[in-house]
Amino acid sequence: MKKILFKIAGKSIPIIIGDGICSKASISKYIDYKDVAIITNTKIAKLHLKNLEKYLKGFNVKVLILPDGEKYKNISSLNKVHDFLIKNKFNRNLTIIALGGGVIGDLAGFASDTFLRGVNLIHIPTTLLAQVDSSIGGKTGVNHKYGKNLIGSFKHPMAIFIDTSYLKTLPQKEYISGLSEVVKYGAIGNKVFLKWLNKNSKLILARDSGSLIKLITNSVKAKVSVVQKDEKESNIRAHLNFGHTLGHAIESSLNYKGISHGEAVSIGMLFASAISVEKSDLKIDEFNLIENTLANFSLPVRIPSSITCAKILQNMAYDKKNKQGKINFVLLTSIGSCGLNDHISDRYILGLLKTFQS
């Protein structure tokens, strides 16, 4: 078991990592009163709800099971959560437990910040992506028809339980999707880590337990270190959006169906790396290392042919990083070093998008 203390906004949030670390003793320590609301979805409820309920014996526990999928990460689902909390007459002594991947975490996190102006939250992330990224850093939110995560807040939990035993039921496609955000940490901040990912891809794909703990711990440390320096994304936190300018536009262009967040980010990272070679000094061998690592993990790097480049460009205009109407990219100057760039013309973007279409 590993414990990382995430010091943020005057709080010290324990991030507990290990195989089988969720238990009655470990979780109940972070619940201040009797009332607990578990928010999860149909798929995760079938697999993991019973055990969590066992750990919460003695508490007044109510469960809301939402439909599964990114397309349900919207205001209407948030309303459902609020309705459920209000109908159950919960008060400010409530603790919400988000049991799920990034969709449930972002949605339940937002509900915990907005219900009665804020109640306690615990994250129990069940996908690799949520364990290495979305459960950490306090970003919550829902999608809007014009763009990803356009409505949300910053809300930190009381504790984060990264229990790798949940990954045993995670389909390989979703596991690989999570690896995309892991590659991101290497590309933007740690060349040694990226090389390790590249060299050990077979062990990682086989979910070798030592490799898994190492990649999760390195990723969590990378995220914590960036967010501790810039909680509200005034500067360097935006670097965590490497690959997301195109990634988010692909997701919204597809109405959040048919592609996972990690897959869309993978395409976006190679796209941003290609721009980086031409406009920001990234060396070809560094581009190749990124491309090769994504390929080793069988992550996609081509834009689905069902979307037009014009539609993608149009949706990039809603990206949260944009300022004064200009599309902002996170570009690499080398592996491990990056910055924001809003000098890439629409014409250039459109031309490059065409070369990325499958």
Instruction: Give catalytic residue positions.
Output: 117, 139, 181, 223, 233, 237, 241, 244, 248, 261
Choose the binding region for ligand GLY from 62-70, 89-97, 131-139, 166-174 (rule: CB under 6 A). 131-139
- Indicate if the alpha-carbon torsion angle 87, 88, 91, 95 is positive or negative: negative
Residue 127 interacts with ligand NAD (CB under 6 A): yes or no: yes
The distance of closest approach from Cβ of residue 138 to ligand GLY in the complex, given in angstroms and rounded to an integer, is 8
Which member of 21, 43, 314, 320 binds ligand NAD (CB under 6 A)?
43
Which member of 177, 180, 190, 253 binds ligand NAD (CB under 6 A)?
177
Phi, psi for residue 321 in degrees, rounded to 5: -80, -15
The site for ligand GLY, by CB under 6 A, has a size of: 6
- The nearer residue to ligand NAD, 67 or 351, going by C-beta atoms, is 67
Asked if 356 and 302 count as a contact pair (C-beta separation under 8 A), the reply is: yes
Residue 261 interacts with ligand NAD (CB under 6 A): yes or no: yes
The distance of closest approach from Cβ of residue 220 to ligand NAD in the complex, given in angstroms and rounded to an integer, is 12
- The nearer residue to ligand NAD, 44 or 183, going by C-beta atoms, is 44
The distance of closest approach from Cβ of residue 136 to ligand GLY in the complex, given in angstroms and rounded to an integer, is 8
- The nearer residue to ligand NAD, 80 or 195, going by C-beta atoms, is 80
Asked if 66 and 105 count as a contact pair (C-beta separation under 8 A), the reply is: no
- The nearer residue to ligand NAD, 85 or 99, going by C-beta atoms, is 99
Residue 220, CA distances (Å) to 121, 167, 336 in order: 19, 16, 16
* Cβ contacts of 254 within 8 Å, gap of 6 or more: 304, 306, 307
Residue 180 interacts with ligand NAD (CB under 6 A): yes or no: no
The distance of closest approach from Cβ of residue 253 to ligand GLY in the complex, given in angstroms and rounded to an integer, is 20
Residue 237: name its binding partner from ligand NAD, ligand GLY, none (Cβ under 5 to 8 Å by kind): ligand GLY
Phi, psi for residue 337 in degrees, rounded to 5: -145, 130
Residue 113, CA distances (Å) to 98, 109, 156, 218 in order: 13, 6, 9, 28
144: exposed, middle or buried (Cβ count in 10 Å: 0-12, 13-18, 19+): middle
- The nearer residue to ligand NAD, 44 or 289, going by C-beta atoms, is 44
Which member of 106, 113, 133, 251 binds ligand GLY (CB under 6 A)?
133
- The nearer residue to ligand GLY, 101 or 309, going by C-beta atoms, is 101
Reference 119, options 150, 142, 144, 88; nearest CA is 88
Choose the binding region for ligand NAD from 58-66, 214-222, 254-262, 302-310 (rule: CB under 6 A). 254-262
- The nearer residue to ligand GLY, 59 or 125, going by C-beta atoms, is 125
One-letter amino acid of 69: G
Residue 169: name its binding partner from ligand NAD, ligand GLY, none (Cβ under 5 to 8 Å by kind): ligand NAD
Phi, psi for residue 305 in degrees, rounded to 5: -70, -15
**Relative orientation angle of helices 284-296 and 191-199, to the nearest 10 degrees:** 40
The distance of closest approach from Cβ of residue 203 to ligand GLY in the complex, given in angstroms and rounded to an integer, is 26
Q: Which of residues 213-272 bind ligand GLY (CB under 6 A)?
A: 237, 240-241
Binding site for ligand NAD (CB under 6 A): 41, 43-44, 47, 68, 70, 73, 100-104, 106, 126-127, 129-130, 133-134, 137, 139, 148-149, 166, 169-170, 174, 177, 260-262
Binding site for ligand GLY (CB under 6 A): 133, 137, 139, 237, 240-241
